[in-house]
């Protein structure tokens, strides 16, 4: 009994489908390789937390500077007040009032400084938390990258094995049947050989006439699905 032409093509289809899957996966790996997009959110959050911290610290320094200046002014004015250099009572009174006003201002600035210290402390905690979150995410990303590298190596190996098997099958295949197969691969989304399962073509899901299924099972020549035109394989 002559060999059925479809047998080699069925195997070739299996190999080609596996190669298609490997190529698709390899393309996704290439896309993910070195791509830091998954770290964008944690990077943004970390940068924002540090910007907030810098702002809080700058506000704190600003308050410290204001306080320092005002204390120096009060010291100078108090000295002047008790130096005996100012004799005019009106001038003394004004100076006294100014010192008192500055002291009230100092007191209010001191309250604000204390409050700002809490703000800075909270911002420090938030920045440390954002740093830790970033570090964890980056470590996970690096692990993923290593896994992708390993997977890529495995795919390359599998691909080499499949290509070798493909070459052997191509040599066994009937040349005309092979050309038909290749053309169908291109025109039918990669699937040239469709299995018949529960009386329907698995390429287009249309029910196959019994006679067609019978021929697909026994004919040495290729049998095509009357609906989608793919090569039918029935076991
Ligand atoms: Zn079909």
Per the structure, the count of domains in the chain is: 2
- Identify the H or E element spanning 56: helix 40-83
Of the candidates 128, 120, 117, 130, the residue with the CA atom closest to the CA atom of residue 41: 130
Q: What is the pLDDT of residue 2?
A: 60
Q: Is 77 helix (H, G, I), strand (E, B) or coil?
A: helix
Q: How many helices and strands in the chain, by DSSP H and E? A: 5, 3
Q: Tens digit of pLDDT for each residue in 193-230? A: 999 999 999 999 999 999 999 999 999 999 999 999 99
Gap from CA of 232 to ligand 1 centroid (Å): 8
Ligand 1 center from residue 24 Cα (angstroms): 24
Q: What is the per-residue pLDDT for 3? A: 76
Domain boundary among 150, 184, 213: 150
User: Domain with 206 in it: what CATH number?
Assistant: 1.10.287.1490
Residue segments in the chain with a per-residue pLDDT below the cut of 70: 1-2
The reply to whether 89 and 47 lie within a common domain is yes
In this prediction the pTM is: 0.75
123: helix, strand or coil:
helix
- Give domain status of residue 168, yes or no: no
Residues with CB under 5 A from ligand 1 (ion): 201, 203-204, 225, 227-228
Say if residues 184 and 233 touch (Cβ distance below 8 Å).
no
> Residue 219 sits in which domain range?
5-31+174-233
d(CA 220, CA 224): 13
Do 140 and 202 share a structural domain? no
Task: Note whether 90 and 84 are within 8 A (CB).
Answer: no
């Amino acid at each position: 009994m002559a060999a059925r032409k479809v047998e080699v093509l069925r195997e070739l289809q299996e190999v080609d489908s596996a190669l298609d899957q490997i190529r698709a996966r390899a393309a996704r790996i290439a896309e993910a390789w070195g791509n830091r997009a998954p770290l964008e959110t944690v990077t943004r959050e970390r940068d924002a937390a540090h910007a907030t911290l810098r702002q809080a610290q700058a506000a704190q320094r600003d308050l410290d500077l204001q306080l320092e200046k005002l204390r120096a002014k009060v010291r100078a004015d108090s000295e002047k007040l008790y130096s005996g250099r100012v004799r005019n009572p009106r001038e003394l009174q004004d100076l006294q009032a100014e010192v008192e006003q500055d002291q009230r201002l100092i007191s209010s600035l001191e309250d604000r400084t204390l409050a700002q210290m809490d703000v800075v402390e909270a911002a420090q905690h938030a920045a440390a938390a954002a740093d830790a979150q970033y570090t964890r995410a980056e470590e996970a990303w690096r692990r993923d990258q290593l896994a992708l590298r390993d997977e890529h190596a495995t795919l390359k190996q599998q691909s080499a094995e499949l290509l070798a098997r493909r070459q052997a099958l191509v040599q066994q295949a009937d040349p005309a049947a092979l050309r038909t197969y290749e053309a169908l691969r291109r025109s039918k989304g990669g699937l040239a050989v469709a299995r018949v399962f529960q009386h329907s073509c698995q390429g287009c899901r249309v029910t196959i006439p019994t006679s067609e299924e019978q021929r697909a099972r026994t004919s040495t020549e290729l049998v095509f699905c009357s609906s989608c035109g793919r090569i039918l394989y029935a076991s």
